[in-house]
Amino acid sequence: MTKVFQSGHHPDADQLSAFVEHALPPHEQAQMQAHLAVCPDCRTIAYLAQPAVVEETAADPRPVATRRPWFSGWNLALPAALAVAFLVILGIHLRNVSTGRNEAQLDKTARIEQSPPLSQTAPPTPLAVPPKPIPAPMQKPQSTAALSTDALAANSASYAVPMRPEPKQSSINGPLTGRGGIALPSPNPAVVSDATLGDQPRQAVSGAAFRPASPAPAAASSASAPAAQSAAVGSVDAVHQELRSSATQYNSTTVTAQSNLNQAFQAPPSPPPAPGAATETVTVTNAPAILETESNASSEVIGGKAIGSLAAPTLKMKKQPSLPSHLPALSTISNTGQQLAIDTAGSLFRSEDAGVSWQPVPVQWTGRAVKLRLAPPPSTQSFAKSANPVTATAAAKPSPAAPAQACFELTNDMGIAWLSTDGQTWKHE
């Protein structure tokens, strides 16, 4: 122990500074601590002798490097890139939406086309074809094609021509509802859903119906009309088979419906093959589809677009008729060498040389003609049952002259139909 640590003495500045700087040997450090523990003045000096933190900081100012983030130089580019990305994504989204909408519309139209109008009762919509209870044996293959094309025309007329909003849905479900849900009082909604063809059954039916028709269009486009028509009739047969098989649990109601249809078809004793009765005949008898028809007989052009029901690909391949008005054909129909067409202006044209030359037909109807279809001959029972005697008389008129020919039916934008056997003179239904 040094002299300064003797009793009653205090450490000098040298020892205190060495203690503060931890420069003392261990034994002197302990002695210093012992002294500081009991000496408040030396403790005060020791604490005052400590270099202040502020003093150290002021003596040794360290420049603090301000570090900028690496993306600080992209302050303007980043929002711009985000905006561009947003616009691109928005554009893609809008394009997808519009494409999806078009696809949905086309899908809906296709479904409409695939659903054959089998109703024997009056459809609820003005656009739909009025009830045609024409039982006829299936000797006219043209009528089978015309049936489906008529349904297509009736259903898709609203697609091309802006009309009242209801027709689309009613034209879709009208014939089907009349077939299964209305004519057959089935308490079970499954029957109705089967008959009215909800989305799933309808797709199944349409798939079954189109499957045999799909390979046909190529041949049909090359003017092999009978083959295409037989395929179409066969597909209609397949539709009914499918419907029948899918509703096996409701055999009784189906049988009832079939019996009703049979009664309706068998009512005329021996009528010549009527086009309009082909569908019903196929449904009932499930006959082989060897029919003679022209390929053009089942074609319809709506709004300048060829929309086929049973031979849609074929129709799309068909050439648009060049009408004298130089407007696209809204609806065309052909039967036994005669061909009729309505352009988008509502004018009716008639051709007797398979569309080579067209003659305008004077307007004999009210409103604007929007649709053509083949109707069964007016000399059927349904015509007799018609409430309108004038219509019944007019419809019965051509039957003696051309008992085997189907008549043309023209529908205006009000849903009123006119009939004609030669396409030249038209009578109100």
Angle, to 10 degrees, between the axis of helix 225-246 and the axis of helix 278-285?
Answer: 50
Cα 313–chain centre separation: 17
Q: Which is nearer to another protein, 30 or 390 (CB)?
A: 30
Q: Are 374 and 143 in contact (CB under 8 A)?
A: yes
Q: H-helix or E-strand containing 327?
A: none
C-beta closer to another protein: residue 24 or 160: 24
Q: Which stretch binds another protein (CB under 8 A): 47-55, 156-164, 294-302, 402-410?
A: 47-55
Task: Indicate the residue among 44 and 266 with the shorter CB distance to another protein.
Answer: 44
Binding part of the chain for another protein, among 28-36, 176-184, 208-216, 337-345 by CB under 8 A, reads 28-36
Going from the C-alpha of 273 to that of each of 56, 197, 253, 276, the distances in angstroms are 116, 29, 28, 9
- Determine if 10 is a binding residue for another protein (CB under 8 A): yes
Taking CB under 8 A as the rule, does residue 22 contact another protein?
Answer: yes
Q: Nearer to another protein by C-beta: 40 or 187?
A: 40
DSSP annotation of 3: G
Give me the DSSP letters along 146-210. HHHHHHHHHHHHHHHS---SHHHHHHHHHHHIIIIIITS--SSHHHHHHHHT-HHHHHHHHHHHH
**What are the DSSP E strand ranges found in 7-108?**
none
Interface with another protein includes 3 (CB under 8 A)?
yes
Does 16 participate in binding another protein (rule CB under 8 A)?
A: yes
Radius of gyration (Cα) for the chain, nearest Å?
45
Contact 343, 330 (CB under 8 A): yes
Stretch in the footprint of another protein (CB under 8 A) among 54-62, 234-242, 243-251, 268-276: 54-62
C-alpha to C-alpha distance for 12 and 320, rounded to whole angstroms: 120
Number of residues that bind another protein (CB under 8 A): 47
Cα–Cα distance list, 168 to 122, 173, 411 (Å): 16, 9, 15
21 touches another protein (CB under 8 A): yes
Residue 41, exposed/middle/buried by CB under 10 A (0-12, 13-18, 19+)? exposed
Nearest-approach distance from CB 64 to another protein, in angstroms = 22
Among 46, 227, 261, 333, the residue binding another protein under the rule CB under 8 A is: 46
Measured between alpha carbons, how far is residue 261 from residues 126, 141, 189 in Å? 24, 18, 21
125: which DSSP letter?
Answer: S
CB of 62 to another protein, least distance (A): 18
Is position 36 an interface residue for another protein (rule: CB under 8 A)? Answer: yes
Assess 55 for contact with another protein (CB under 8 A).
yes
Are 393 and 149 in contact by the 8 Å Cβ rule? The answer is no
Please identify, using beta-carbon distances, which residue of 47 and 74 lies nearer to another protein. 47
Q: Is the Cβ of residue 8 or residue 162 nearer to another protein in the bound state? A: 8
Told to check if 57 binds another protein by CB under 8 A, we report no
Interaction of residue 51 with another protein, rule CB under 8 A? yes
User: Which one, 38 or 387, has the nearer CB to another protein?
Assistant: 38
> Interface with another protein includes 61 (CB under 8 A)?
no
| Closest distance of CB 43 from another protein, Å | 6
Binding to another protein by residue 59, rule CB under 8 A? yes
Smallest separation (angstroms) from another protein to the CB of 32 = 9
Question: Considering the rule CB under 8 A, would residue 401 count as an interface residue with another protein?
Answer: no
Decide: residue 164, CB within 10 A, 0-12 exposed, 13-18 middle, 19+ buried.
Answer: middle
- Within residues 129-188, the interface with another protein by CB under 8 A covers none
The nearest distance, CB 83 to another protein, in angstroms, is 52
Residues at the interface with another protein (CB under 8 A):
1-4, 7-14, 16-18, 20-25, 27-28, 30, 33-41, 43-52, 54-55, 58-59
